[in-house]
Amino acid sequence: MEETPDTPVPDRPWARRAARAEDSFHAWRERRARRRGLTPVVIPYRGYGGGDWVRVLCRVLLTREQRDARSARARIRGWRSFVSIPVAHAEVIVTIAGERVTVRADRGGVVDVDVPVTTRFSPGTHTISIAVEGSEPVEAPVTIIDPDARVGLLSDIDDTVMVTALPRPFLAAWNTFVMDERARRPVPGMAVLYERIVNAHPGMPVVYMSTGAWNVAPTLERFLGRHLYPSGSLLLTDWGPTSDRLFRSGQEHKRTSLERLASEFPDIRWILVGDDGQHDEELYQEFVDAHPDNVAAVAIRQLLTPEAVFAGGRRSADVPHRGAPWVQAPNGAELAEALEAIGIVPTR
């Protein structure tokens, strides 16, 4: 039975033991790495916020002494991103417009926290600084959403903007651990579609969501930039055991991310973009049912036949598609035409 937010979490002592074993292993690696002279570094990600709060996103890892975070990010890529050593529960100092606040990373070294600020930011891109254990602070971009914005863009990544073929274990491993962003293929027309949406709604929030691990965030950022996708925040997850399961639930990550965005931006109507190869349609339909006033449209990229075969088939037949405009097409150009027809994308 699938668990929902209202379902009591079952008692799974084996999962708790696995999580404790993982924590002990990372603590042992951290002690050894520090003895070898490795020091903590902050890997910043693009955050977002409103006029008086900012969502801070970053990760704390151990690496050899670097001059700045950019050089550290250059070293921690490909397969190295999955053997990098996280600093669990690290104390991180965030400085926003002169205000300093101390936050704490989670057990995987990830900081994901909303920080209230007294200085009201103007809409647009700003920078904050983040430091750990007396290190030199690094700058992180944050996008302050225009309070008058009423439309947002939320996009899946895997097989929606980037052809990944994740269900194929060997190819997925090759793509993740060996190839870099230059070897990955963009989905045709999607970058142009997103740019048209952003141009039609200045100041709108743009969020990219994936079940991938935070380890691959720098690679995904480079891919999106290389292929001219609009700048936006990444919402990723972490792999490994938790207190109630051996592997984190990608569906639950997407479900809670959607609910958090609805809470943070109650006046935003989202254009939800995904594909028909995993569970995007089911999750988006759940969100439409729960928040019908927060959805402008749902756009589903239909996988090509070879992609669908490798992905285990399409799921559209099982999803009713109700409560909001739904469009489907195999690429960005045809999705743009369908969105034009319902008035979501302006005609050229």
Domain extent listing, the chain: 13-144, 151-341
**Closest by Cα among 140, 156, 157, 149 to 48:** 140
- The model's confidence at residue 8, banded by pLDDT at 50, 70 and 90, is very low
pLDDT digits (tens, 9 = 90+) for 37-63: 788 999 999 999 998 999 999 999 988
User: So what's the pLDDT on residue 155?
Assistant: 98
Identical topology for domains 13-144 and 151-341: no
Q: What is the CA radius of gyration of the chain?
A: 20
CA 232 – CA 260 distance, rounded (Å): 16
List CB contacts of 156: < 8 A, sequence separation 6 or more. 208, 209, 210, 273, 274, 275, 280
Q: What is the mean pLDDT of residues 232-259?
A: 74
pLDDT digits (tens, 9 = 90+) for 11-21: 556 445 655 66
Q: Three-class SS of residue 238?
A: coil
State yes or no: pLDDT of 294 exceeds 70: yes
Strand-pair partners of 144: 49, 124
State yes or no: pLDDT of 168 exceeds 70: no
State yes or no: pLDDT of 164 exceeds 90: no
CATH code: domain 151-341 is 3.40.50.1000
CA 223 – CA 228 distance, rounded (Å): 9
Q: Considering the chain, what is the average pLDDT of its residues?
A: 82
Token pair of 337, please? Answer: 């035409």
**Helices in 110-230 by DSSP H: which ranges?**
169-177, 190-200, 217-226
pLDDT digits (tens, 9 = 90+) for 65-117: 655 555 555 455 554 555 678 888 999 999 999 999 999 999 889 999 999 99
Cβ contact 161:195 at 8 Å? no
Measured CA distances, 128 to 69, 107, 133, 138, 279 (Å): 14, 23, 17, 8, 35
Q: How buried is residue 57: exposed, middle or buried, by Cβ count under 10 Å (0-12/13-18/19+)?
A: buried
Q: What is the mean pLDDT of residues 169-182?
A: 54
The answer to whether the predicted template modeling score (pTM) of the entire model surpasses 0.85 is: no
State yes or no: pLDDT of 245 exceeds 50: no
Q: Which CATH topology does 13-144 take?
A: Immunoglobulin-like (2.60.40)
pLDDT digits (tens, 9 = 90+) for 182-202: 667 899 999 999 999 999 998
